[in-house]
Structure 1
Amino acid sequence: MKIKACISTLRKLQFNRIKDVDELIEITGMVYEDLIYGVFNGENTSRKTFKSVAEGKNWLRVKNNERKNVLIRNDVWPKNRELKGIQGTFEIVNVEEEKFLKSVSHASVITKIGEKKYIVIWFVCLEDEEQHVKLADAIKAEKEGCTSAKVISYFPIRLPGSKNWKQNAFAQMLWFKYQPLTPVEFVLKNELKVWVSPSKLNADEGTRESLPIDSLPALMQETVRSFSKAYCCPPEFAFAPLLTMIGSVIGHKIHVKPEKNSDLVIAPNFWAISIGDSGAGKSPVHLRMREFFCPLNDKALSDYEDAIERYEALKKIRKEREKTVSKHIRQRITAIDKTLDPIEKRKMEELLASEVTENSRQPQKPTLVRYTTNKATYAALQHILGENHNGILMDLEELKLFIYQLRGSKGFEYRSFLLECNSGFGQHDIDRLNTGTTYASNMLLSIFATTQPSVIYPHIRNTLKGSEENDGLWQRFNILLHPKTTDNVSSASGEVEVSLISKVQSLFSSINRCDFGFQPNLGLKERSVCLSDRALGVYKQWYREITSFKSNKDVHNVYQNYLLKYRTLVPKLALLFEVVESFDDAKQVVGPIKSVSETSAKKAVRIAKFLESHARHVFDVRTNVDTANAILILKRIDRLPSKFSARDIAQKNWSGLNTNTDEVNRAIMVLESALVVRKATNCRQKPLWEVNPYITEAGAQ
């Protein structure tokens, strides 16, 4: 029963039971030729290597039958991974077996060698040879039940004795789970009191993925790579504006529905923010990409000027015609006044009124087709959206001014209006005493902005705290990119080829001209295509994964709401990718599109997972702030007493550090996780921390 209990516990801890050498090689990723077969007989040792396991085991079997001790080991496996092993032998007399196994669950190898006897091996990253010896000594001294401990540079595999030799079996129960540790992790997980060099703190740490450029359509791949290389910036800073711009040009021309009978109609607009420090390269790329709209703006202006000339000509004609019409009206009025029959008189008046109404109609003043706006007030934006039924892009060089517009009572009005513009089918009416009523329906707004972390993060933090900013506005930004500036950044700058700029401009123009085969009088929501059956399966699988957080109580409810709005993200991306893939540069046409393919859906899912990793980083503000505070304390830790409390730090009132004790305590927890500090013992009244001597020694030098 005890053996079964041991097996059950290790399986729960996700360890793999290994029964023979072939299985060991498969699970650990070893190479046959790297195995060393050894024979030990007193002081004499002989070792050999073989090209196959079978040869080695046959050789060992003969030696084993000669009653010699045999062993297999692998020296190359740890060396290639830059690891050293710390091996401890345990005899657990006063500890429950299950409790012991859980206490060493962070080890890589657990071998049962007898009744309540174990050999445990931790693989620790190779840093300092002296530190590894110190760690082995600490395990022996502090870990309950440890009878011996040593540093090893190989992976040992114990084989059975001569009396019970089995060709494929190991001597004892061997369990493996590859989980290498840093020295700091080794100390913390084993709760040792020894000091080692602390881990480095990085305020920019997170789980953000790099942009999977290969998942983009070919033209977008070429554009992102070219701009990223030319401006020496992360490819994410080229991807975000490009995606948002293409989506805004498509606008209401074509929509996507997950299923044919679905009421959910999705427009391919995006709200995106590129986040980066000053000098990260986000602005130059964005400003250059504005050139993609040049042909559209030039044509719109030319058409507008022609329409204005025609409008002015019609006005002159109308003015001259009014002179003749006025004389004719006076004559008709005189004739009506002379009519005595009241019924006939009324008929004549109604006929004249209809003629006057028909002749008094003024030619409609043309409006300039707009594709972008760089700054707009609440009322002006509603007016622009009312005149441009395909939607527009709010293209902001800096988010700060936009945030300023959202403050105060007028700001709340603006926020409410923006929320209605996100889906593309919102309606908004403004009633003013001086200007009357302004109508706008089917408002479709795309937003792109660049900003710095210090601008956006406080507002995300307020949203997480449940303040009045938690109205759903920031949750509607489905693209929040804050790349690590060192990721995939080319050091060789260059120029973006003019031919590439021209090709992307042709894509924009082709989309703008395209009607995607829909009749002009067709309703907006009827201008839709559906996901193909296979694409729908891909989408549903992804959505199940993205909403699996519902059972996780650790996920903040604000972030849960944010992910729920991801329901439309994959269809948006898939439709946009389908449109771009259908572009024929030679013929300068886009489409036709009958449905969204499985290929586009898979690419969209890959990009959505990448976007979610960045959103997770942006909304996890607390971790970033705590790490930043921890770094600030570390820089000034020499100003603290040898044993200090959180109150000691708060009372320093250091610039950039919140004096709130809770925030200071969270920063200290970050320092503890890096072994910069440790809670001091024998503190009766209040918790005190002591500093890692490696830090004070480095400061003294």
Structure 2
Amino acid sequence: MSTHLEDFDINALLARNDVAKARTSFFAKSPSTSGDWPEIEPLPDSLKPVEPFDMALLPESLRPWAQDIVNRVQCPPDFIGATVICALGIAIGRRVGVRPKLRDDWTEYGNVWGGIVGRPGVMKSPAMSAILAPLKRLDIEASQRYEDELAEHENAAKLHKMRQDAADKKAMATLKKNQDATVDLRSPGAPEPPKLKRYLINDATVEKLGEICADNPQGVGVFRDELVSLLKGLDRDGQEAARGFYLTGWNGNDGYTVDRIMRGHQRIEAVCLSLIGSTQPGRLSEYLRIAIAAGAADDGLIQRFGVLVWPDVPRQTWENVDCWPDAEAKHAAHAVFKRLVDADPVETWQAEVPTGPDGEPDGDPPFLRLSPEAMESFVEWRTEHENTLRGGDLHPAMESHLAKYRKLVPSLALVLHLANGGTGPVADYAMNQALAWAAYLRSHAERAYGSVLVAEVSGAKALLRRIKAGDVTDGFSARDVYRNQWSGLENREATMKAIGVLIEYGYLVAEAAETGGRAKSIYRIHPGATR
């Protein structure tokens, strides 16, 4: 067994829902008397390494802007890159799709879910805020247009009511003269109220979010500064409908119908959500631990965060960078977002309009297919990817996460193609960028899921320190540990996981103690564990 976290079988270790119960071995006689002790292996002490972020992953027109923000904010470039790709997906939304097969109608959209992970104080929020600025600006402009349209609508509605009142009075006068007279009470329909176009939402109940999605079938973005708080909120009893709504919004393909006694009937043409936020390493690891333990949260919600980055934060001397933003780069970036939201999918991007059996448009959004070169690259990647998923070597949680790359890769290719100024079939260059993203993001996903084991190892190290200090002696039980409420070993679950890790690495072995009643396990300490 290797001493490095990245080299041992993370998947097997993550599969332990109850580590000690799964790993405990019972010996007929004490190893201390038989000499049959396993060999001690050092406990791992680091997270799995991740791929560094390369600015080449971004559209060329946005690289100077992204690099300028990295330099001024002094944050890992991963925070910037992940937010850029999610923001572009929000701008494109569901107005155009990509069909990754030549003939099939399988369609994916540009919305993706992303999360950035970092300790407090590593500039997560300032980095994300700087990148989301173009979307915030678009929201402000849309709100101003809505106010103007609403004023015009109120005037038109008043005029409509006056005409209707006049028609009613005229009909009444006619009927007073002749009750058998024919009158026409019909009038032009009332003007439709304007709809507020939205791009970015910070906090909304799921009911209000449903109303916003009904008015914005092109999709909206949801930004939560503390992502795990949202996820935990969706885990609570009574939030099943809200959780289902978010799950539906991930792929952007499906409509949603709500029927309530008080609220009546609401039909949402399509729910297309882009979700992005940040969190801290400890909070994410704890949430993942619960989610992959086959609990109520084990429905693939967390695995939908394909653009999940957990970079290393360089240990370097902080510098006071105080300079003007690169105005040219900033202007170019805002222009990219403006171009994307204003584009006509058919006229600008040369997208195809889907048709039904009668040859008429079926109402679904236009779509692009892959160029022959991009198709070849995608099929080659997917063949290897699908065989990996079917190989049986992945932990179910990681398998579920990687399975979502079937959407992630085509979505990223579409976003990068359009952000690069592409039109027509998705180009090979954009597909290769998307595949590079997939390789980069997989390393960060492996770190995230592997962090669950690192958390267990922390408990094991806490227990080992107690053993070396003499606070825990040979032949101890789990209760002997957790009743002391030591840090990292406060309850039975944490203690059993710590014991299981120490068994895994040879520091402990378990024996069945004779109690005359219910079976009890005690743990013998390797003679070398106290050195």
TM normalised by structure 2 equals 0.80
Matched position secondary structure for 1:687: strand
Does 1:415 find its partner at 2:243?
yes
Q: Which residue of 2 aligns with 1:615?
A: 445
Distance, in Å, in 2 between the alignment partners of 1:413 and 1:690 is 55
Go from structure 1 to structure 2 and tell me whether the alpha carbon gap of 1:227 and 1:488 turns closer, same or farther (over 3 Å shift).
farther
Supply the AA of the counterpart residue of 2:302.
W
Q: Which residue of 2 aligns with 1:532?
A: 371
Mean alpha-carbon deviation: is it higher for 506-515 or for 451-460?
451-460
1:300-339 aligned within 5 A: 300-334=142-176, 337-338=179-180
Q: Which residue of 2 aligns with 1:86?
A: none
1:96-147 superposed Cα distances (whole Å, 9 cap, x missing partner): xxxxxxx9xxxxxxxxxxxxxxxxxxxxxxxxxxxxxxxxxxxxxxxxxxxx
Match of 2:501 among 667, 680, 695: 667
Distance, in Å, in 2 between the alignment partners of 1:678 and 1:398 is 39
Supply the AA of the counterpart residue of 1:632.
A
Number of aligned positions between the proteins: 470
Does 1:602 find its partner at 2:444?
no
Are 2:472 and 2:481, in contact at CA under 8 Å, matched by a contact in 1?
Answer: no
Does 1:386 find its partner at 2:210?
no
1:52-103 superposed Cα distances (whole Å, 9 cap, x missing partner): xxxxxxxxxxxxxxxxxxxxxxxxxxxxxxxxxxxxxxxxxxxxxxxxxxx9
Match of 1:434 among 253, 257, 262: 262
Are 1:255 and 1:527, in contact at CA under 8 Å, matched by a contact in 2?
Answer: yes
Does 1:517 find its partner at 2:346?
yes
Distance, in Å, in 1 between the alignment partners of 2:315 and 2:82 is 16
Q: Which residue of 1 aligns with 2:458?
A: 628
Distance, in Å, in 2 between the alignment partners of 1:498 and 1:564 is 41
Match of 2:48 among 199, 206, 213: 206
Go from structure 1 to structure 2 and tell me whether the alpha carbon gap of 1:336 and 1:387 turns closer, same or farther (over 3 Å shift).
farther
Go from structure 1 to structure 2 and tell me whether the alpha carbon gap of 1:575 and 1:664 turns closer, same or farther (over 3 Å shift).
same
Distance, in Å, in 1 between the alignment partners of 2:365 and 2:260 is 34
1:190-221 superposed Cα distances (whole Å, 9 cap, x missing partner): x999x9xx96853x421422223323322343
Supply the AA of the counterpart residue of 2:384.
E
Does 1:688 find its partner at 2:520?
no
Supply the AA of the counterpart residue of 1:570.
V
Go from structure 1 to structure 2 and tell me whether the alpha carbon gap of 1:390 and 1:488 turns closer, same or farther (over 3 Å shift).
farther
Match of 2:329 among 500, 504, 508: 500
* Larger relative contact order (CA 8 Å, sep ≥ 6): 2
Distance, in Å, in 2 between the alignment partners of 1:192 and 1:430 is 60
Structure 2: segments with no counterpart, 5+ residues: 2-36, 354-360, 511-521
Distance, in Å, in 2 between the alignment partners of 1:474 and 1:201 is 26
Mean alpha-carbon deviation: is it higher for 326-335 or for 537-546?
326-335
Go from structure 1 to structure 2 and tell me whether the alpha carbon gap of 1:334 and 1:260 turns closer, same or farther (over 3 Å shift).
farther
Go from structure 1 to structure 2 and tell me whether the alpha carbon gap of 1:404 and 1:526 turns closer, same or farther (over 3 Å shift).
closer
Matched position secondary structure for 1:252: coil
Distance, in Å, in 2 between the alignment partners of 1:223 and 1:608 is 23
Distance apart, 1:525 and its partner CA: 3.8
1:362-381 superposed Cα distances (whole Å, 9 cap, x missing partner): 22221221111101111101
Match of 1:292 among 127, 134, 142: 134
Matched position secondary structure for 1:430: strand
Distance, in Å, in 2 between the alignment partners of 1:248 and 1:487 is 33
Are 1:646 and 1:665, in contact at CA under 8 Å, matched by a contact in 2?
Answer: no
1:283-332 superposed Cα distances (whole Å, 9 cap, x missing partner): 11112223212431232122112212211221332243234222211133
Are 1:371 and 1:392, in contact at CA under 8 Å, matched by a contact in 2?
Answer: yes
Matched position secondary structure for 2:297: coil
Distance apart, 1:408 and its partner CA: 3.6
Supply the AA of the counterpart residue of 1:484.
D
Distance, in Å, in 1 between the alignment partners of 2:471 and 2:260 is 65
Does 1:544 find its partner at 2:383?
yes
Matched position secondary structure for 1:324: helix
1:459-474 aligned within 5 A: 459-474=287-302
Distance, in Å, in 1 between the alignment partners of 2:462 and 2:143 is 54
Distance, in Å, in 2 between the alignment partners of 1:555 and 1:423 is 24
Matched position secondary structure for 2:51: coil
Q: Which residue of 1 aligns with 2:415?
A: 576
Are 2:96 and 2:367, in contact at CA under 8 Å, matched by a contact in 1?
Answer: yes
Distance, in Å, in 1 between the alignment partners of 2:317 and 2:157 is 58
Match of 1:357 among 146, 162, 186: 186
Distance apart, 1:384 and its partner CA: 0.1
Q: Which residue of 1 aligns with 2:485?
A: 653
Distance apart, 1:494 and its partner CA: 4.8
Are 1:653 and 1:659, in contact at CA under 8 Å, matched by a contact in 2?
Answer: no
> Percent identity at matched positions?
23
Distance, in Å, in 2 between the alignment partners of 1:616 and 1:524 is 40
Q: Which residue of 2 aligns with 1:108?
A: none
Go from structure 1 to structure 2 and tell me whether the alpha carbon gap of 1:524 and 1:457 turns closer, same or farther (over 3 Å shift).
farther
Mean alpha-carbon deviation: is it higher for 220-229 or for 238-247?
220-229
Distance apart, 1:644 and its partner CA: 4.1
Q: Which residue of 2 aligns with 1:150?
A: none
Match of 1:249 among 87, 91, 102: 91
1:478-523 superposed Cα distances (whole Å, 9 cap, x missing partner): 1222222238998674554233222211111111111133499865
Supply the AA of the counterpart residue of 2:400.
N
* Structure whose CA Rg is larger: 1
Distance, in Å, in 2 between the alignment partners of 1:436 and 1:489 is 59
1:162-201 aligned within 5 A: none
Q: Which residue of 2 aligns with 1:367?
A: 195
Are 1:269 and 1:444, in contact at CA under 8 Å, matched by a contact in 2?
Answer: yes
Go from structure 1 to structure 2 and tell me whether the alpha carbon gap of 1:603 and 1:487 turns closer, same or farther (over 3 Å shift).
farther
Are 1:278 and 1:452, in contact at CA under 8 Å, matched by a contact in 2?
Answer: yes
Distance, in Å, in 2 between the alignment partners of 1:336 and 1:562 is 75
Are 2:95 and 2:218, in contact at CA under 8 Å, matched by a contact in 1?
Answer: yes
Distance, in Å, in 2 between the alignment partners of 1:491 and 1:552 is 48
Matched position secondary structure for 1:397: strand
Does 1:267 find its partner at 2:109?
yes
Distance, in Å, in 1 between the alignment partners of 2:48 and 2:415 is 29
Distance apart, 1:539 and its partner CA: 1.0
Are 1:529 and 1:595, in contact at CA under 8 Å, matched by a contact in 2?
Answer: yes
Distance, in Å, in 2 between the alignment partners of 1:248 and 1:301 is 17
TM normalised by structure 1 equals 0.61
Mean alpha-carbon deviation: is it higher for 521-530 or for 619-628?
521-530
Distance, in Å, in 2 between the alignment partners of 1:507 and 1:426 is 28
Go from structure 1 to structure 2 and tell me whether the alpha carbon gap of 1:279 and 1:324 turns closer, same or farther (over 3 Å shift).
same
